[in-house]
Structure 1
Amino acid sequence: MTALSELLTHETIALDEEADDWQDAIRLAGRLLESAGVAAPAYTQAMVDSVHQNGPYIVLAPGFAFPHARPSEAVHRTGMSWVRLKSPVEFGSRANDPVTLVVALAATDSSTHQQAMASLATVLTDTSLRESLDEATSAAEVHAILRGDASTVTAAPAEAVAPADDAGRTRPEGGGRTRDHILTVCGNGLGTSLFLKNTLEQVLDRWGWGGLITVEATDTVSARGKAKDADLILTSGEIARALGDVGVPLVVIENFTSQREIDAALRASYDI
């Protein structure tokens, strides 16, 4: 596993950049990956194309977009870029526009960056750290904050009281006992779905259900085949519309970093 501070370097961090629109914002992040030798221009175009195809599902939380595309020959090594915009731009997300922070991911596979993804999700849910990052005046300062995340990030405050036990856990829509399996889904299966998976697992751990329910991050194509073995699917509104009826409940999450929203969704889905 690779740490966040290893994937985000000084040369892939840019602050107070101007972007004309969401495509320009993604291209700013992509050019940083290109300049660092992480990816080729074709990958930047793939990130833009992904939003054209799937909608603004990459806007995961208020003010935050996470562009990425599938692994390909255009990715030379796994890396990330961080662009703080001087002026916010609209991506078309009803819940989370406008965007001021764009963090792009280029990955060679679906596994090596999972630790970094978990760290990034933790950073963005820590109010004081997010404020520090928003106020940072240099790439070195941003990197220093990120470099210390593993030891200095404070746990997000508990937003929910755990259920007393799992005795009443039933499958959504009254279908008997649970299959104890949840899918988190995005267009590519390696970016936003991992973000959502991380937050969901934090909620399950708070409940003491971490060992009782497995969470799998996947893409839209694979999700259709895997849905039959899941209790439900958590995803964005755009991806939910693309999936259509897959035979299990689709739960739309607007803020992928919000434990409170996911907690409420789980309670409703499992009739707790």
Structure 2
Amino acid sequence: MSQLSDLVDPAAISLQNPAATWRDVITAAGALLESTGAVDPAYTAAMIRSVEEHGPYIVIAPGFALAHARPDASVHRTAMSVLRPQAPIVFGHESNDPVTLVVALAAADPSAHQQALAALAGILADPARRAALDEAATPEQVLAVLGAERPTASAPSAAAATTATESATVDPDEPTVPSKNLLLTVCGNGLGTSLFLKNTAETVLGTWGWGSLLSVEATDTISAKGRAKEADAILTSGAIAQTLGEVGVPVEVIENFTSTAEVDAALRRLYAV
């Protein structure tokens, strides 16, 4: 099994869950983590507070939300739960509502879960595998989708590769703007949705041949405000962009954090490619 499926206990999967509001659905997803001993109730409360403070930034792709909070003493081990509500849930996201699939992430430290999130991003970016998650009838079927192998962890889709090569040739030896060789991806906690976006940005840069020229770092809103001028730009959600305000560098709003095509277009705007 993959590292991703290893993090999901079968008992932490709920299909056709009766949750009716975004608070209900995060509460239920957190309760699944609590039931397996991964977290205390305080962590579930922290996931809810994060949305109350930062808005629906956890809705990072059409129909998908990644609930999470900062690592603290209420997290006993890194784990995920998977919840599919009986009816779509409105979080208040302008373009990605309603939500039909929720994953709750509990991270014991800021780095232990990065490979698993990269794998999950790949699943969500693959229409066939995302459909398989939406249609899975049992926890075992969900785990089979999460554990299935894919060609490479960071390979772009055929459509994204076409987008990246049909436009002007990218020449890393002739940058069109002065670069600080750093991009920041930002979310409320710096360890969940921002890592999704980091993975997608790195995929695009790899397709361009810029992987060795630009570093991409995932961070939280507080750190991003302090470090913004170290970077060429910030990639983030609309809700987090409002929280950041004016930071002195371009802020590109990304609606679908798993879309290489959308991130490709944003980076082309930034670097005049």
What is the RMSD computed on CA atoms of the aligned residues?
1.5
- SS of the equivalent of 1:108 reads coil
| Stretch of structure 1 that moved more, 54-63 or 141-150 | 141-150
Matched, 1:169 2:183: no
- Measured in 2, the distance between the counterparts of 1:76 and 1:250 equals 35
Matched, 1:54 2:54: yes
- Residue 238 of structure 1 and its aligned partner are, at CA, apart by 0.9
- SS of the equivalent of 1:169 reads coil
Residues 1-272 of structure 1 aligned to structure 2 (within 5 Å): 3-150=3-150, 156-159=157-160, 160-162=163-165, 163-171=169-177, 177-272=178-273
- Residue 56 of structure 1 and its aligned partner are, at CA, apart by 0.2
- Measured in 1, the distance between the counterparts of 2:253 and 2:237 equals 5
- Residue 158 of structure 1 and its aligned partner are, at CA, apart by 3.8
Query: Are 2:85 and 2:101, in contact at CA under 8 Å, matched by a contact in 1?
Result: yes
- Measured in 2, the distance between the counterparts of 1:263 and 1:22 equals 31
Query: Relative to structure 1, is the Cα distance of residues 93 and 269 closer, same or farther in structure 2, using a 3 angstrom cutoff?
Result: same
| Stretch of structure 1 that moved more, 222-231 or 90-99 | 222-231
Normalising by structure 2, report the TM-score: 0.94
- SS of the equivalent of 1:161 reads helix
Structure 1: tracts of 5 or more residues without a match = 172-176
- Measured in 2, the distance between the counterparts of 1:16 and 1:10 equals 15
- Residue 151 of structure 1 and its aligned partner are, at CA, apart by 5.8
Structure 2: tracts of 5 or more residues without a match = none
Query: Are 1:43 and 1:69, in contact at CA under 8 Å, matched by a contact in 2?
Result: yes
- SS of the equivalent of 1:91 reads coil
- SS of the equivalent of 2:68 reads coil
CA displacement 1:41-98 (0-9 Å, x = unmatched)? 0100100010000000000011000010011111111100000112101000011000
1:174 is matched with which residue? Answer: none
Query: Are 1:123 and 1:149, in contact at CA under 8 Å, matched by a contact in 2?
Result: no
- Residue 150 of structure 1 and its aligned partner are, at CA, apart by 4.8
- Residue 157 of structure 1 and its aligned partner are, at CA, apart by 1.9
- Residue 149 of structure 1 and its aligned partner are, at CA, apart by 3.5
Q: Which amino acid aligns with 1:123?
A: I
- Residue 164 of structure 1 and its aligned partner are, at CA, apart by 3.4
- Measured in 2, the distance between the counterparts of 1:152 and 1:243 equals 34
CA displacement 1:136-169 (0-9 Å, x = unmatched)? 1100111012112356988522422243312442
- Matched residue pairs, number? 266
Q: Which amino acid aligns with 1:144?
A: A
Q: Which amino acid aligns with 2:172?
A: D
- Measured in 1, the distance between the counterparts of 2:156 and 2:175 equals 27
Normalising by structure 1, report the TM-score: 0.94
The sequence identity of aligned pairs, in percent, is 56
CA displacement 1:192-246 (0-9 Å, x = unmatched)? 0000000111111111111111000000111112112100000011111111111
- Measured in 1, the distance between the counterparts of 2:186 and 2:271 equals 19
- SS of the equivalent of 1:110 reads coil
